Structure 1
Amino acid sequence: MQDTPLIVQSDKTLLLDVHHEQSEACRNDLVRFCELIKSPEHMHTYALSAISLWNASSCGVDVSFILSRLDYWSKFPVPESVRFYIEDMATRWGKVVLSSSDDPSYYELWVESERIRTELLNRQAIAKLLIVKDESRFLLAAYNRGEIKLQLIKIGYPVDDRIPLNHGPLVPVSLRDTTLGGKPFTVRPYQKQAADALLGDLGPGSGFGTIVLPCGSGKTVVGLHIMERLTTKTLIVTTNVAAVHQWINEILDKTTLKKDQVGEYTGEKKESKEVIVCTYQVLTYRPDKDGPFPHLELLTKGNWGLIIYDEVHMLPAPVFKVTAELQAVYRVGLTATLVREDGREDEVFSLVGPKRFDVPWNELQQQGFIAEAYCHEVRIDLPKEQEIPYAIGTKREKYRIASENKRKLEVVQALVDRHPDDFILIIGQYLDQLKNIADHFGLPIITGSTPNIKREALYRDFREGRQRILVVSKVANFAIDLPDASVAIQVSGTFGSRSEEAQRLGRILRPKNRSSFFYSVVTRYSSEEEFAANRQKFLAEQGYSYEIEVWDT
């Protein structure tokens, strides 16, 4: 047994003793080919997966490096089953290579292995896309570039795409040293590293992928830095109209682009500019459920050089299909978590690109780039009169009764009183519950039906200190910058959504001169407790722990 910080287990999990003097050096190796699963106080858990190994291979991390590092760091011999899994999965990268051909309307798919070629030809969904050229090559119509990658990753063969990307029309852009608002501005080291990891040398196999950074750490700045380095016509797709306007404001504030160069494409306004910011919603709009998507042409016929998918884990299914057609374009996905509740992480990998950069939340917290946050789960009993309806309700009815527990109002009152000087967000899922809270406190409320002009005016009042408390529905989960918010009180959520929990905590992580507090108010002895436990998993993996408060009156 070695005096080293790592234990490699046969279930492909790896346990890192964070108190060992060499734990940091070991972690720096692990993050190159593993996924961080849990990071509580003493022992961090990493996992090897097909996606994590393909991410590593796409960045040039080979099998010999992985195995040598595991041998070096592991207290005990690495299990043979794990060694076999690593060799099998990691070496699948490069077995199928996509390259240019003499005819620009076709690409060449190189498959050296006869066994793999036979498998491809015997799968109808794949074989129909291919034309046999010789004993190691197939021809593939250029417009099927994304589709073949999608089909092949589903059977365990990620495509190494070596076709150079089209640059797109030139749009000169530089970042400012001082923002229009008069503040000094620089790109932080980790933001530059993220862009470097994505762009590489701009040669084949680079210029596309996903960047994972915590909420509040400046993912928008990473996008702007990539725009500066590519200087090309850019489309940015984000989650809602408020986020569209926020991106536009950031672009104008921090870059040399002028107002007549930057436009929005939403339900309210449809502009044609050198840089356009649009919503996923407008792209997936169609007049009837069986009809075409009239605005998807914005993606396919825009002659873009760069597409930025903000909150890429929210990428809707119809956009996946169009993303498959946009494989010749520089593209980046930005997200705080690649957790998708529908399990389609492999599609993000194949269509937007592999994960190129990731940094633990607690690392940026220690460096002061995101706020220190304390998480609390406050448990409260149901009122007596709701116990029988809860007991006889369906699963969905039980969850709603527990979520809308009217005693949560007294908890919210006490928490608001506990933080008299903080800027507070009260967040929930159910509109009746939120309206009741807003009425009780005499507070403004923001929901999906709030007009965008009013919504943005309320956000502005909050940012500028005229409004200290806002009641918000899930429309505020994503891409809303409220830098002074330091307390979030969650009264209900979308069942067990881990990504939603992370996004809601993210609303209060902008760095500031005080700690942040995240409260989740949950009905005790109910199904809401079970869903809350699942919701908290992702944050527990990032090093956050929940202090439990039982509310007695």
Structure 2
Amino acid sequence: MMFNSAGSPLIIQGDQSILLDLHDPRAEDARKDIASFAELEKSPEHIHTYRLTPLSLWNAAAAGYSSETVLKVLDSYSRYPMPSGLDTKIGEIMDRYGTITLRESEEDAGGDRKLLILQVHDPYIYKIIENTKSVEKLLLPRREDDGASFYLHPMQRGNIKQELIQLGYPVDDLIPLKEGEPLEIGKLEQTVSGGEFHVRDYQLQAADSFVGNMEGGTGYGTVVLPCGGGKTIVGIEVMSRLKTQTLILAPNVSAVHQWKRELLDKTNLSEDDIGEYSGQRKEIRKVTIATYQILVWRPDIDGDFPHFDLVTRSSWGLIIYDEVHLLPAPIFRVTAEIQAVRRLGLTATLVREDGKEKEVFSLVGPKRFDVPWKDLESRGWISEAICKEIRVELPDKDQLKYATADKRKKYRIASENERKYDILDYLIHHHPQDQILIIGQYLEQLEEVRKRIDAPIITGKTPNSRRDELYQDFRDGKIRVLIVSKVANFAIDLPDASVAVQISGSFGSRQEEAQRLGRILRPKEQSAYFYSIISRYTVEEEFGMNRQKFLAEQGYSYLLEVWDA
């Protein structure tokens, strides 16, 4: 391999980390190309750090990348010779995807179901499985005819995937999925609201990647699109192709209502076809939209989840997990039970703050489609966004209190810095024609903002009917400034918002930062502005940098401004 210099932005290291020099002329091209198989870890001003992880490489393998392709990309951007042995490491990790497969056998499992065959294509891995108690207990006696596979009862299909991925061995499930009860779902060329309805090319590609050829190995997985990129439209496209009764799981009641509006506006489904299953209503219809909260509700901490059977009560042919990165941990249990059903995850980011990305991979499915945010921006499908971090010092009276507090209290003191209010006033007056979202973490802080600017507020205590009313007034332009707590982070369509001001956030939550920016990315004529107000010289700076990691991976950079108090 020849030594490269200018135009070689990557420094690839033996620990599988990758340094990206942002000042190199090919840095942006390299970022786009490695994003398919590497995860961003750090994103300071000059050098970004990525890492090749098993999950990032397995997602790439599931998307059709080979280890040779990954190595070719790395080599084309590498400033120095590739570390010795890295090609072997990448090959070993990526080759694990497809080494263990699931197929249906001809043997009867009872109840008109067939036993499954766990086929292991590597003798070494076969021995590991055979001698791992947590895995071995899920398996039936091994087949006598080949010594390379095990029988498996269908009810253990999800459990075996969970156990094996924790061992570092993903399962490629090649069993055809059931069809479910038929339902004639069609898209409208003219929406009920009066506009033309066209599915964009990348949305069609996303649906193609999920539906596939309808044979084994297709019909499950996750589609990753930016906020404002039309994930709901991908869901509608998939539903119109599969034409089957569908269960949609969404993060909150506002998202349930949004799904229902979109389905009624853009498909031939009627009010009678669509049911809402939430804390307010318990309707089960041909298309049922439920909240995650109702599924994980139980009367006491040691009790059963009485609504789990919604997932198995009807003959669903498709389950859609909206904002799949928010899937509550208990739902993984019931998701493990429904591996015979087509499962579509929709999200703007696969990042989970609880570290359960492997569960999403194994039980919902690998990433099937992803498109860089900046690509959609360049084509006008989402707005150009200008991100600014404004730093302001703590008042003198709070500095001693901050210095003597523990880390959690330090964060709250920094987040509720009263000097942020002056910056907020300035920004509101600086954008007199824009519709502005003010987003925060702490209710006392948001209440103080409400008193200062006399704007409506939405928190967790706001009734759902009132939330829907305020969201609609904001969409209609009756409200110019809306204050929202973290309840508005996810699955809320506010297309006319062009400015978001984040006055406090959830520690280092990368998914939250992405979702909050997403509130203002719906396409519009002017640029969108995302302001994050941070207390200078505090732990809030550290957490703010962590929150920005995911967006840095998408090509966004934050302009830094220090506010002179």
Indicate the TM-score class for this superposition, using the shorter chain for normalisation: over 0.9
2:187 maps to a residue whose letter is: L
Kept in 2, the 8 Å contact 1:39–1:542? The answer is no
Q: CA deviation at 1:404?
A: 1.2
Kept in 1, the 8 Å contact 2:43–2:552? The answer is yes
| Residue in 2 that maps onto 1:80 | 84
Structure 1 residue 9 corresponds to structure 2 residue 12? yes
| Residue in 2 that maps onto 1:348 | 360
Q: CA deviation at 1:294?
A: 0.5
Q: Residue 523 and residue 69 in structure 1: after superposition, are their counterparts in 2 closer, same or farther (change >3 A)?
A: closer
Partners in 2 of 1:371 and 1:384 — Cα distance? 40
| Residue in 1 that maps onto 2:120 | 111
Kept in 1, the 8 Å contact 2:63–2:367? The answer is no
Q: Which secondary structure state, in structure 1, belongs to the residue aligned with residue 279 of structure 2?
A: coil
2:227 maps to a residue whose letter is: C
Gaps of 5+ in 1: none
Q: Which secondary structure state, in structure 1, belongs to the residue aligned with residue 330 of structure 2?
A: helix
| Residue in 2 that maps onto 1:95 | 99
Kept in 1, the 8 Å contact 2:3–2:81? The answer is no
Kept in 2, the 8 Å contact 1:32–1:61? The answer is no
Pairs within 5 Å for 1:537-548: 537-548=549-560
Q: Deviations over 1:455-478 (max 9, x none)?
A: 100001000011111110000000
| Residue in 2 that maps onto 1:407 | 419
Partners in 2 of 1:54 and 1:202 — Cα distance? 22
Partners in 2 of 1:422 and 1:204 — Cα distance? 49
Kept in 1, the 8 Å contact 2:458–2:485? The answer is yes
Q: CA deviation at 1:227?
A: 0.6
Partners in 1 of 2:416 and 2:23 — Cα distance? 43
Q: Residue 380 and residue 296 in structure 1: after superposition, are their counterparts in 2 closer, same or farther (change >3 A)?
A: same
Structure 1 residue 310 corresponds to structure 2 residue 322? yes
Q: Which secondary structure state, in structure 2, belongs to the residue aligned with residue 402 of structure 1?
A: helix
Gaps of 5+ in 2: none
| Residue in 1 that maps onto 2:212 | 200
| Residue in 2 that maps onto 1:54 | 58
Partners in 1 of 2:549 and 2:150 — Cα distance? 44
| Residue in 2 that maps onto 1:123 | 132
Q: CA deviation at 1:387?
A: 2.0
Q: Residue 439 and residue 189 in structure 1: after superposition, are their counterparts in 2 closer, same or farther (change >3 A)?
A: same
Q: CA deviation at 1:113?
A: 2.8
Q: Residue 372 and residue 81 in structure 1: after superposition, are their counterparts in 2 closer, same or farther (change >3 A)?
A: same
- 11-20 vs 527-536, which moves further: 11-20
Q: CA deviation at 1:302?
A: 2.4
Q: Residue 40 and residue 372 in structure 1: after superposition, are their counterparts in 2 closer, same or farther (change >3 A)?
A: farther
Kept in 1, the 8 Å contact 2:32–2:372? The answer is no
- 401-410 vs 155-164, which moves further: 401-410
Structure 1 residue 367 corresponds to structure 2 residue 376? no
Q: CA deviation at 1:301?
A: 2.3
- Match of residue 228, structure 1, among 219, 227, 240: 240
- Match of residue 162, structure 1, among 174, 180, 194: 174
Pairs within 5 Å for 1:424-463: 424-463=436-475
- Match of residue 143, structure 2, among 124, 133, 143: 133
- 80-89 vs 242-251, which moves further: 80-89
Q: Residue 437 and residue 23 in structure 1: after superposition, are their counterparts in 2 closer, same or farther (change >3 A)?
A: closer
Q: CA deviation at 1:337?
A: 0.8
Q: Name the Cα RMSD after superposition.
A: 2.3
- 52-61 vs 450-459, which moves further: 52-61
Q: Residue 39 and residue 529 in structure 1: after superposition, are their counterparts in 2 closer, same or farther (change >3 A)?
A: closer
Pairs within 5 Å for 1:12-51: 12-14=16-18, 30=34, 33-35=37-39, 47-51=51-55
Structure 1 residue 388 corresponds to structure 2 residue 400? yes
Q: CA deviation at 1:299?
A: 1.0
Q: CA deviation at 1:45?
A: 6.2
Q: Deviations over 1:310-342 (max 9, x none)?
A: 111111110011111111111111111111111
Q: Residue 60 and residue 375 in structure 1: after superposition, are their counterparts in 2 closer, same or farther (change >3 A)?
A: closer
Partners in 2 of 1:143 and 1:63 — Cα distance? 33
Structure 1 residue 288 corresponds to structure 2 residue 297? no
Q: Residue 174 and residue 24 in structure 1: after superposition, are their counterparts in 2 closer, same or farther (change >3 A)?
A: farther
| Residue in 1 that maps onto 2:226 | 214
Q: CA deviation at 1:422?
A: 0.4
Q: Deviations over 1:355-385 (max 9, x none)?
A: 1111111111111111111111111222222
Partners in 2 of 1:152 and 1:320 — Cα distance? 15
Q: CA deviation at 1:38?
A: 7.5
Q: Which secondary structure state, in structure 2, belongs to the residue aligned with residue 242 of structure 1?
A: helix
- 211-220 vs 104-113, which moves further: 104-113
Structure 1 residue 237 corresponds to structure 2 residue 240? no
Q: CA deviation at 1:18?
A: 8.5
Structure 1 residue 552 corresponds to structure 2 residue 550? no
Q: Deviations over 1:239-296 (max 9, x none)?
A: 1100100000001111111111111101001111110111100100001010000111
Partners in 2 of 1:383 and 1:19 — Cα distance? 37
- TM-score under structure 1 normalisation? 0.95
Kept in 1, the 8 Å contact 2:224–2:371? The answer is yes
- 451-460 vs 88-97, which moves further: 88-97
2:457 maps to a residue whose letter is: I
How many residues align structurally? 553
Partners in 2 of 1:143 and 1:213 — Cα distance? 32
Partners in 1 of 2:450 and 2:224 — Cα distance? 34
2:137 maps to a residue whose letter is: K
Q: Residue 87 and residue 438 in structure 1: after superposition, are their counterparts in 2 closer, same or farther (change >3 A)?
A: same
- 118-127 vs 467-476, which moves further: 118-127
Task: Work out the percentage of aligned pairs sharing the same amino acid.
Answer: 54
Q: Which secondary structure state, in structure 2, belongs to the residue aligned with residue 211 of structure 1?
A: strand
| Residue in 2 that maps onto 1:358 | 370
Pairs within 5 Å for 1:137-156: 137-156=149-168
- 87-96 vs 248-257, which moves further: 87-96
Partners in 1 of 2:507 and 2:460 — Cα distance? 19
Q: Deviations over 1:189-226 (max 9, x none)?
A: 11111111112111111111111111111111111111
Q: CA deviation at 1:87?
A: 1.5
